[in-house]
Structure 1
Amino acid sequence: MFYQQLIKGLYSVNTADISSPFGRFTWRVVGRHPCGWGSCALFARLHLLVTSNPSSCAAARRRLGNGPSASLSCVRLYERMMEESSREHLDTDNEAGGEDALVGNVNKLMITPPGYTGPPKKGHVIFDACFESGNLGRVDYISEFEFDLFIRPDTCNPRFRVWFNFTVENVRETQRVIFNIVNFSKTKSLYRDGMSPVVKSTSRPKWQRLPAKNVYYYRCPDHRRNYVMSFAFCFDREDDVYQFAYCYPYTYSRLQHYLASLERRNLDYLQREQLGLSVQQRRLDLLTITNPAHLNQEQEKRVVFLTARVHPGESPASFICQGVIDFLVSQHPIAQVLRDHVIFKIVPMLNPDGVYLGNYRCSLMGFDLNRHWQDPSPWAHPTLHAVKQLIVQMNQDPKVSLEFYIDVHAHSTMMNGFMYGNVFEEEERVQRQAVFPRLLCQNAPDFSLSSTTFNRDLVKAGTGRRFLGGLLDDTSYCYTLEVSFYSYLTAGSTSPVPYTEDGYMKLGRNVARTFLDYYKLNNLIDESKHTGHINSSSDGTSTSHQGNNPGNGKVKGDRKPRDY
């Protein structure tokens, strides 16, 4: 179909021959999209028009969500939009970055003073975001020392402008600059509380946060009183390429290398499979971690399901997910006990296209996937559709008890790790759902029980937590696990402790450990034996633990827990 050919990025040649309802067209490629999905002239124009017009954008997404037959509708929509654009001049000075910035990232863009016509010199800095997970849409020269930077909006959705990730080179030693990020789509930000961007360079490849004293977050009268984040920086090595990002990047390629390294270990308790493909044909990976005997027996199976990176800019979620995986595949005695009694299903990256493209919240086609759990389209939301199908299939299997679903995110305005849970009418179910966060709080000093809340907000109805909380039976627990982009406060501390990559992974390891506490507390794993005997008590009744109400440990349908 016409639009499918465009959207899937089949633009690796200099010209693109596209069949459409109006005949066969040859479109000249006007520049490959920096993130690899191409930009033939037609698609670039369509993308620009859609992202410049929120109402048209919504209409396009509604049509696209109906499946491949929407292609003809999209072509007609494009035709009408082209007619409209011929009558109405687009505002190229808007805060989203203007016409050029909306189409793609800057590509080795050298910034020189206005009117300068001489040869390039050291100190004429070169900006680039044409790499995986890169994002920088436009750069304006203010002075020799100051530059306004515009975040490229999420593809096909102008609402979200938060994630940035770009490089700077051709600098002078001791050159001082001020970078102003001027078009954030959010007003509330942890930059108000001391958060700072991260930086690395070719000679110092480990990410580190900029000093908070060099970062300012304020309303700027020069930019319609929008909030601006400015940071000062001094380049110290001329031959280095410097990279700046909103938070520690965790790319699709990094995940693939990590999973490949796990496969090379030939662990009999780890299986990796391709659950599906994204719109751009990237892998949707599913890991199964358990004693292999569980997969072949007919007894009941307890399943913990974990997903991450449905929002691509929330990179801390990937570090937490890797921490969970690292712990579960380790030789730690707790990990061995868990593998003997629980099947862990993990989808480390639900939105691989969005991650690859450098989006903050949306997929390639501009969808916030975490609002489409109720009715995901196999064409517009293929990764979400595949995961939902798997969960529904497990839920319908009488031999499977899907006991936990945890979706991992990062939060841009709050400290610490914390959880969101669902609200139910039955008081016993409410109390049981509070147990796991309480146990996690005892294991993880950076987890905040006071920030953990249970709600049924209508705007969250399409999220995984809300949808699956209604789909699964009352012995299942569905949570959103959030972690701060910035820092955490521990009991008795007076100043926040900034998260590092290792800090996020440590929280993931603590999440994994907490499952043993939960199952021991509910008499499902024998505390006295680290061989991990399943307790086969008839009612699954648990005892109290440090004043918490643990709830019960019954599996689906009140079946008795037993060895499997």
Structure 2
Amino acid sequence: MKRCAYLFFVATVLMPAAVTIRSNFEGGNIGRVEQLAPNHFRCHVNGEADQQHRNRQASWYYFEIDGAAGQEVTLDLVDLQGEYNFRPGNLAINGHTRPFISYDRSKWTALPDNAIEWDKIDLRLRVHLTPARSPVWIAHVPPYTTRNLAVLLAELKGNAHVVMEEIGKSAGGRNLMMLTITNPARPLVDKKVLWLMARQHAWESGTSWVMDGAVRFLAGGNPKAAKLRDSFVFKLFPMADPDGVARGGVRFNVNGYDLNRNWDTVDPKLMPEITALRKAVLDWTDGGRRIDLFLNLHNTNDDFLQGPLSLAEPDYRDLVNRLAALLKKNTFYDTKAPRDWPPGNVARGRMDACQYLFYERAIPTLLLEQSVQTNARLGRPLSSADYRRFGAQLVISMAMAVGVGK
């Protein structure tokens, strides 16, 4: 009987790895994900509503895509329609907002215009992406998390020009910080005082990058910064809603309260963030110290300055116009004519930080909104480096605008 040896060759077919999507990391957020095809996903943007279950904002997404290196992936971002100040129809994410991607969560790049399609009927943003490697992260705006802030604060330790104070705790128990930057060798009595606040709304990470750039400049070795420290005191709130930032929130604290409303109500249990921020400012002014300008940083889909132009003294209007002119001359900010506050009384519980501080203590306050869409002067969305550069330019412009006055 002959023995026959049979040699079997097994062909191995290399199948592409399954593409996965997740957001279970700090700042991450995406809702339900439906797989329509192997590389086509419908991603529902979570959004958030306030304590009254109104004013839903769908302004933030940040998630990881793994297993897609070299493959084209199609993402349909849906559930985008929201409500702003009880008016429906708000679309923070739309055909003019280009997603950012990163392969290391440090360097972020805006996708080109031809990578997105906007469906104005279904209100859907379709994104086409072929990652060069895996994983890749995608976000509405370059994220700035509590870890980024921790790195900045660690670098400031031991800096003779910087005082870091914990002014309270968030509803989730996180530290609320205030920075004071000045030259301690020069007496405070002769110095003008500028306040800057960022990140009242968690999705507005551009404001944190601006603050980061401002702080690094003011605390650093640039001769211009040294001159500013000699003549000014800078009071800075770097992150008003650390809980929202950590969880990938949008606009409201963990109890559903908008931290840029409700400044005329006192509730340290439900809104400890407002309580701490407001107390820090009022303690300063009630101690007989001056505030020459309080600037509140926010992100939206347009660049504009807004303040009480028709209510304040002429000196205030001159100050705002000077600042607007300086920003137009010295920065890429798409400066337009400053906007006045809307007419009429503010409903109880709807007063924002600028309104409260102006009405209660006659503090010269100003809102600065910065667009997350294509910057008209640069021709592209702003990168984290752009925001940082603007932060330094902003505090210089603020000082120049205030320095002209009395």
Structure 1 length normalisation: TM-score? 0.63
Deviation at 1:219, TM superposition (A): 3.0
Question: CA–CA distance in 2 between the matches of 1:229 and 1:442?
Answer: 32
Where in structure 2 are the equivalents of 1:242-321 lying within 5 Å? Answer: 242-263=136-157, 266-293=158-185, 299=189, 302-321=192-211
C-alpha contact (below 8 Å) 1:361/1:368 kept by paired residues: yes
C-alpha contact (below 8 Å) 2:80/2:92 kept by paired residues: no
Q: In the alignment, residue 467 of structure 1 is paired with which amino acid?
A: Y
Q: In the alignment, residue 318 of structure 1 is paired with which amino acid?
A: S
Question: CA–CA distance in 2 between the matches of 1:205 and 1:442?
Answer: 29
SS in 2 for 1:340: helix
Deviation at 1:234, TM superposition (A): 1.6
Question: CA–CA distance in 1 between the matches of 2:169 and 2:311?
Answer: 38
| Change in CA separation of 1:485 and 1:207 when aligned onto 2, cut-off 3 Å | same
Q: In the alignment, residue 424 of structure 1 is paired with which amino acid?
A: S
Question: CA–CA distance in 1 between the matches of 2:112 and 2:188?
Answer: 57
1:326 aligns with 2:216: yes
Which of 73, 79, 102 matches 1:177? Answer: 73
Q: Counterpart of 2:59?
A: 162
Q: Counterpart of 1:486?
A: 373
Deviation at 1:170, TM superposition (A): 2.4
Q: Runs of 5+ in structure 2 lacking a partner?
A: 1-14, 83-89
1:496 aligns with 2:385: no
Instruction: Give per-residue Cα distances to partners, 1:147-206, cap 9 Å, x unaligned.
Output: 1101223377661222000001123x432221001111344457433x31011124x952
| Change in CA separation of 1:156 and 1:129 when aligned onto 2, cut-off 3 Å | farther
Deviation at 1:430, TM superposition (A): 5.0
1:217 aligns with 2:118: yes
C-alpha contact (below 8 Å) 1:142/1:148 kept by paired residues: yes
SS in 1 for 2:209: helix
Q: In the alignment, residue 281 of structure 1 is paired with which amino acid?
A: G
Which of 357, 369, 382 matches 1:468? Answer: 357
C-alpha contact (below 8 Å) 1:133/1:359 kept by paired residues: yes
Q: Counterpart of 1:139?
A: 33
Q: In the alignment, residue 201 of structure 1 is paired with which amino acid?
A: Y
Question: CA–CA distance in 2 between the matches of 1:189 and 1:280?
Answer: 26
Where in structure 2 are the equivalents of 1:342-491 lying within 5 Å? Answer: 342-398=232-288, 400-411=289-300, 413-414=301-302, 417-425=303-311, 428-429=314-315, 431-450=317-336, 452-456=338-342, 458=345, 462-473=351-362, 476-490=363-377
| Change in CA separation of 1:156 and 1:292 when aligned onto 2, cut-off 3 Å | same
Deviation at 1:445, TM superposition (A): 3.4
SS in 2 for 1:503: helix
Question: CA–CA distance in 2 between the matches of 1:278 and 1:155?
Answer: 19
Deviation at 1:434, TM superposition (A): 2.5
Is 363-372 or 509-518 further displaced after alignment?
Answer: 509-518
Instruction: Give per-residue Cα distances to partners, 1:434-468, cap 9 Å, x unaligned.
Output: 33423432443322332531214556951111111
Question: CA–CA distance in 1 between the matches of 2:78 and 2:93?
Answer: 16
Q: In the alignment, residue 214 of structure 2 is paired with which amino acid?
A: V
Which 4+ stretches in 1 moved above 4 angstroms? 155-158, 457-461
Q: Runs of 5+ in structure 1 lacking a partner?
A: 1-120, 523-552, 554-564
| Change in CA separation of 1:459 and 1:219 when aligned onto 2, cut-off 3 Å | farther
Instruction: Give per-residue Cα distances to partners, 1:451-489, cap 9 Å, x unaligned.
Output: 53121455695111111111223xx42111111112322
1:231 aligns with 2:137: no
Instruction: Give per-residue Cα distances to partners, 1:229-258, cap 9 Å, x unaligned.
Output: 111112343xx2111111100001110111
Where in structure 2 are the equivalents of 1:2-17 lying within 5 Å? Answer: none
1:506 aligns with 2:395: no
Which of 173, 182, 192 matches 2:95? Answer: 192
C-alpha contact (below 8 Å) 2:95/2:116 kept by paired residues: no
C-alpha contact (below 8 Å) 1:151/1:163 kept by paired residues: yes
Question: CA–CA distance in 2 between the matches of 1:205 and 1:312?
Answer: 18
Which of 39, 42, 45 matches 1:148? Answer: 42
Question: CA–CA distance in 1 between the matches of 2:272 and 2:313?
Answer: 37
| Change in CA separation of 1:390 and 1:174 when aligned onto 2, cut-off 3 Å | closer
Higher helix share: 1
Question: CA–CA distance in 2 between the matches of 1:425 and 1:437?
Answer: 18
Q: CA RMSD in A?
A: 2.4
Where in structure 2 are the equivalents of 1:33-72 lying within 5 Å? Answer: none
Question: CA–CA distance in 1 between the matches of 2:150 and 2:60?
Answer: 22
1:208 aligns with 2:109: yes
Q: In the alignment, residue 364 of structure 2 is paired with which amino acid?
A: Y
Q: Counterpart of 1:118?
A: none
Instruction: Give per-residue Cα distances to partners, 1:368-412, cap 9 Å, x unaligned.
Output: 1111111241111112111101111112122x111111111111x
Question: CA–CA distance in 2 between the matches of 1:436 and 1:385?
Answer: 32
C-alpha contact (below 8 Å) 1:174/1:234 kept by paired residues: yes
Question: CA–CA distance in 2 between the matches of 1:511 and 1:410?
Answer: 15
Q: Counterpart of 1:54?
A: none
Structure 2 length normalisation: TM-score? 0.86
Instruction: Give per-residue Cα distances to partners, 1:533-562, cap 9 Å, x unaligned.
Output: xxxxxxxxxxxxxxxxxxxx1xxxxxxxxx
Instruction: Give per-residue Cα distances to partners, 1:463-518, cap 9 Å, x unaligned.
Output: 11111111223xx421111111123223xxxx823211111111111111113423
Q: In the alignment, residue 153 of structure 2 is paired with which amino acid?
A: L
How many aligned positions are there? 380
Which structure's relative contact order is higher, taking Cα pairs within 8 Å and 6+ residues apart? 2
| Change in CA separation of 1:350 and 1:425 when aligned onto 2, cut-off 3 Å | closer
